[in-house]
Structure formats: C-alpha cells, structure tokens
C-alpha cells in the first residue's frame, strides 16, 4: 500500500463570541485520504492530535490529545462486522471513562452505555444510556438517559426525517419536562443539484436560549459541503431583532485532491482573532 503524507495548513479568522466554529468541516473530502495528525494553535496554546488505524481494516484504533493541560488517549474496539463496540478514554491523572455499544440482531437498534471508572476501586457507575433506532439503515430516533450521578435521569430525544433521496431533511431535539416532550432545537436542510449532484446548500437551526431568546442560524454551503456563509437572526419573546443580526463569511481553499486546506472566517465590524490549524493526511 503506497502512502503519502499531505500537510494542510488552515488559518481561521473567528470571532470568539461566535458559536459557529463547530460547524466548520475539518475533514478530507476524498475517501482515499485519512487524517493522521492535527494541530490547533490559538492564543491559549497548541493542541495536538495523533490518529492511528488498523492496517488491515482501516478502522480508527486510537486518538491521542496533547496540550498544556491535558494528555489523554482514546482507544477503540470493533466487532467482526467492523462496528464500534467500545471506546475507552484514559487521562494522565488516572481518570478513565468507558463507552460500550450493543446492537440488536437485525441492527435496527444501537444502545450505548457510558461509565465512569473509580480510580481507587476500579468500580464503574453508569452515567448515560443512549439508544438509537434505525429504519432502512437510517437513524430515525435517538433517546438518551443522563444520570448525572443520581437515580433520576434527565431525558433527551432527537428525531430525524429524510427526503425521498435519503438526505437528512429535519432534525428535531426534545427535552423531557413535566412528563411531556418539549421541542428545544430544530434544524431544516435544503438540497439542490450542484455540478450534477445533489448537495446540501442551506440549513436553518432554531435554538431556544435564555431570557426569551430564540436563535435562527441560516447556513449556506458550497459544492464541497462546507460552509460559506452563516447568518444568525435573533428573536426575543417572539419578536425579530434585526439589530442583533450577525453574519459570518467563510473563505475556503482546497488542494488538488479536494481536501480543505484553508478557511478564513470574516465578521465585519468586530475584532477578529486568528487561529491556525495544521493537518497531515495519509493517502490510503
């Protein structure tokens, strides 16, 4: 197997107040590349990630994170069908978290259990159960029970809806309050034909916030599936507040293989902070 390391440098220009950086795509657009190293630099310091894979299956086996405050290692295990059944996070201070996944025979339901491991005794306590339901290979329902260390779990429910082509059209997130499911966040995606293929071109996320605020995040994507513009519109007590609108423009650059190598995020009228991300890709 021939291997080649591709180094990608991404310079980010992100306003610290923006909640949008988690939506930026930091992955290769081609399936014949895989990430082996990542480095993120900002004013708080440098964080490094090292990725290892199984030589035969290509499954991700471990991720190590290093920075000034943390040294952690995540190890993954899989069943005979290549499905993840366990991953364990080890911290330098001895803290360990274990995540186990079970599958039904037909594969329509997946249950994850999360455990906290006591450093002194080795005993583990259940902290969260995540149950996912599938139909025709698509995730349609996900319910989680978060125990927060007590006997009464908090309940969350996420529903997924697809269009006729199998694209994710809606994502609805509920929380359990007073015996009823209450819609907390929702996302709606729009797909259009670009360069002969259907791509997600727009999405709107509605988020309930404190003090009666509801945020509508409007995303616009390019043909690579990466964000090129985000506008956040805010509503207070049901009334639209145009004076609070925020718009971010994403300038993306790609290498010859289609991997994202540089992103610049611009928000006019605000102080801008610079971040640098370095990636090394391995050609499989």
Judge whether 97 and 114 are in contact, CB under 8 Å.
yes
The DSSP code for 21 is G
What residues form DSSP beta bridges with 140? none
Question: What pTM, to 2 d.p., does this model score?
Answer: 0.65
Q: Could you list the residue range(s) of the whole structural domain that residue 220 is in?
A: 5-283
The pair of structure tokens assigned to 10 is 């991404």
Judge whether 252 and 263 are in contact, CB under 8 Å.
yes
Please give the Cα distance from 44 to 67 (Å, whole number).
Answer: 10
The pLDDT value given to residue 30: 53
| Side-chain half-sphere CA neighbours of 21 within 13 A | 18
Q: What is the CATH number of the domain that holds 224?
A: 2.40.160
The pLDDT value given to residue 274: 52
Percentage of residues in the chain with pLDDT exceeding 70?
77
pLDDT digit string, tens, across residues 5-58: 443 433 333 333 333 333 334 444 456 888 898 887 776 788 999 999 999 999
What is the tally of structural domains in the chain?
1
């Amino acid at each position: 197997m021939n291997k080649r390391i591709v180094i990608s440098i991404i310079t980010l220009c992100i306003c610290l107040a923006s909640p949008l950086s988690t939506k930026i795509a930091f992955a290769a657009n081609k399936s014949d590349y895989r990430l082996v190293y990542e480095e993120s630099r900002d004013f708080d310091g440098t964080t490094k990630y090292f990725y290892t894979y199984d030589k035969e299956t290509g499954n991700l086996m471990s991720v190590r994170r290093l920075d000034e405050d943390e040294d952690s290692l995540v190890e993954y295990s899989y069943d005979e069908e290549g499905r993840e059944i366990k991953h364990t996070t080890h911290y330098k201070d001895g803290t360990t978290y274990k995540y186990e996944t079970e599958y039904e025979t037909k594969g329509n339901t997946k249950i994850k259990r999360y455990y906290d491991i006591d450093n002194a005794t080795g005993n583990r306590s259940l902290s969260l159960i995540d149950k996912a339901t599938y139909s025709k290979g698509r995730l349609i329902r996900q319910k989680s029970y978060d125990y927060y260390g007590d006997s009464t779990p908090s309940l969350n429910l996420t529903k997924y809806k697809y269009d006729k082509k199998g694209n994710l059209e809606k994502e609805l997130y509920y929380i359990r309050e007073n015996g009823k499911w209450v819609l907390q966040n929702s996302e709606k995606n729009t797909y259009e034909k670009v360069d002969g293929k259907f791509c997600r071109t727009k999405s709107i996320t509605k988020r309930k916030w404190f003090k009666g605020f509801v945020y509508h995040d409007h995303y616009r994507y390019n043909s690579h599936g990466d964000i090129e513009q985000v506008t956040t519109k805010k509503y207070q007590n049901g009334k639209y507040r145009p004076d609070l609108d925020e718009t971010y423009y994403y300038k993306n650059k790609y290498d010859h293989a289609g991997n994202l190598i540089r992103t610049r995020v611009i928000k006019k009228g605000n102080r801008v902070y610079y971040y640098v991300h370095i990636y090394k890709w391995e050609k499989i």
